[in-house]
Amino acid sequence: MDVIQYQDPTGQTMVSRWPANGTAPIRFGSQLIVEESQQAVFFRDGKALDTFGPGRHTLQTQNVPVLASVLSIPFGGQSPFQAAVFFVSTKTFLDLKWGTKEPVIFRDHDLAMVRLRAFGKFAVRIVNAQLFVNTVVGSRGLYSSQGVEDYFRDVIVARLTDVLGENLTSIFDLPKLYDELAMALKSRVADDFGKYGIELADLFLGAITPPEEVQKMIDERSGMGALGDMNAYMKFKTARAIGDAAQQPGGGAGGAIGAGLGLGMGAGVGAMLPGMMRDAMQATPPPAAPAAPAPAAAAPAAPENPVAGKLRQLKGLLDEGLISQEEFSAKRQKLLDEM
């Protein structure tokens, strides 16, 4: 007695064909075993004849009427017939991933055009085995969940652009809308799965991330506490620029203006110019009082007597022990005589 069955060792096989290529002779009385999470589709001459649910099926004309009606086999016939069996897994395939290969363009209410990336997971199960085999698998001997994941990843991203445009006005609202966006996206792509005999069991939106420079804007606006006030955000940026410039050498009101203009904040800084000029004028110290006139130069001292200078030099030599007392006395007398 022949037994026809298939058990998936990987957990990722959606469809497996018996035999792997072409058809094989099936003798009457053979046992077809279909697992609880499977359906088996009988094919002959390229057409699906019947679908068998879970259980053990004995292939006899009295047990499987389609064999007699379609194959024209007389009741109780024993001649083998050529056929192929496709085992289709009906379990739920989890942890399938989707995401944007390239950023999608989103028109943001506050930031104009923004490039966004998104990713998440989805889960599927086959609900119409014959439709799935005929429209997706074809004559292949094996088909895994990787094929479904690769195809529907791009389908989900294509629908995501429409969902964002209809349900989101600003990326600053994203934190409170993830569940709503995921539900809207699941509803939008359900028909794309259904036409292939697949049910979209779950779809999750992991994250939607703007470019790094936009994330920096979000962080600054959060710190400022004015998420909905763009005018306040521009003032905040200008104030930050002025503060940074003031800390640099040569900073001050003029440096702050230059920094603000360099950041493209000309309009905001122009509105602040009067106040900045007033503050600068108030901060400028008053001019110093005129300095008192310098005292008149002292009258030149009278020239020193040369003999007195020589006597002092001579006394210094004596004090240092370079000449004796007798030498000092003799030279001093000589100088005094010359006066």
pLDDT score at 302: 53
Q: Which one has a higher pLDDT value, 114 or 155?
A: 155
Instruction: pLDDT band for 317, please (50, 70, 90 cuts).
Output: confident
Q: Helix or strand or coil: residue 197?
A: coil
Mean pLDDT within 13-37:
92
pLDDT of residue 109: 86
Residues above pLDDT 90, as percent of the chain: 40
Task: Specify the residue for token string 């035999």.
Answer: 19
How far is residue 88's CA from residue 6's CA, in Å, rounded to a whole number? 10
Yes or no: say if 58 and 31 are a contact pair by the CB < 8 Å rule. yes
Question: What is the distance between the alpha carbons of residues 220 and 222, in angstroms, rounded to a whole number?
Answer: 5
CA-CA distance, 81 to 1, in Å (whole number)? 15
Cβ–Cβ < 8 Å for 174, 117: no
Residue-wise pLDDT for 54-82, tens only, equals: 999 988 765 566 665 555 555 455 557 88
Q: How confident is the model at residue 8 (pLDDT cuts 50, 70, 90)?
A: very high
DSSP 71-98: H-PPTT----EEEEEEEEE-S-EEEEEE
Pairing of strands 104-108, 38-44: unpaired
pLDDT category of residue 216 using cuts at 50, 70 and 90: confident
pLDDT band with cut points at 50, 70 and 90 for residue 290: low
Q: In the block, which residue shows the tokens 């939106």?
A: 205
pLDDT, greater one: 225 or 194: 194
Q: Work out the mean pLDDT of the chain and round it to a whole number.
A: 79
Span 126-145, pLDDT tens digits: 999 999 999 999 989 999 99
